[in-house]
Amino acid sequence: MTELSTSGGQNASDGQDARRGTAYGAGAYAIWGAFPLYFHLLAPAGAWEILAHRILWTLLFCAAVLAVRREFAWSRSVFGNPRMLGAVTLAGLLIGVNWVIYVAAVVAHHVTEASLGYFLNPIVTVAIGVIVLRERLRTLQWLAVAIGLAAGVYLTIDFGRPPWIALSLAFSFALYGLMKKRLGTSLGAFQSLTSETAVLAPIAIVILVSLSTQGETTFTAESPSHPLLLASAGVVTAVPLLLFAAAARRVPLVTIGLLQFITPVLQLLCGVLLLGESMKTSRWIGFGIVWIALLVLTLDSIRSVRTRRRMADAAEGAAV
Q: How far is Cα of residue 43 from the mean position of the Cα atoms in its chain? A: 23
Residues 6+ apart with CB under 8 A from 316: none
Estimate the crossing angle of helix 189-213 against helix 233-248, to 10 degrees. 160
What dihedral angle (degrees, nearest 10) is formed by the CA atoms of 281, 282, 285, 290?
A: -130
- The pLDDT of residue 76 is 86
DSSP 3-state of 46? coil
- The pLDDT of residue 300 is 85
Please count the other Cβ atoms lying within 10 Å of the Cβ belonging to residue 82.
Answer: 8
- The pLDDT of residue 130 is 81
- The pLDDT of residue 1 is 47
DSSP 3-state of 220? coil
CB-based contact 197:150 (threshold 8 Å): no
**187's torsion region: left (phi>0), alpha (psi -120 to 50) or beta?**
beta
Residues 6+ apart with CB under 8 A from 190: 62, 65, 66, 238, 241, 242, 245
Please count the other Cβ atoms lying within 10 Å of the Cβ belonging to residue 193.
Answer: 22
- The pLDDT of residue 253 is 64
Domain boundaries, given as residue ranges, for the chain: 39-314
Positions of the chain with pLDDT under 50:
1, 4
Nearest to 100 by CA among 204, 222, 174: 204
- The pLDDT of residue 136 is 82
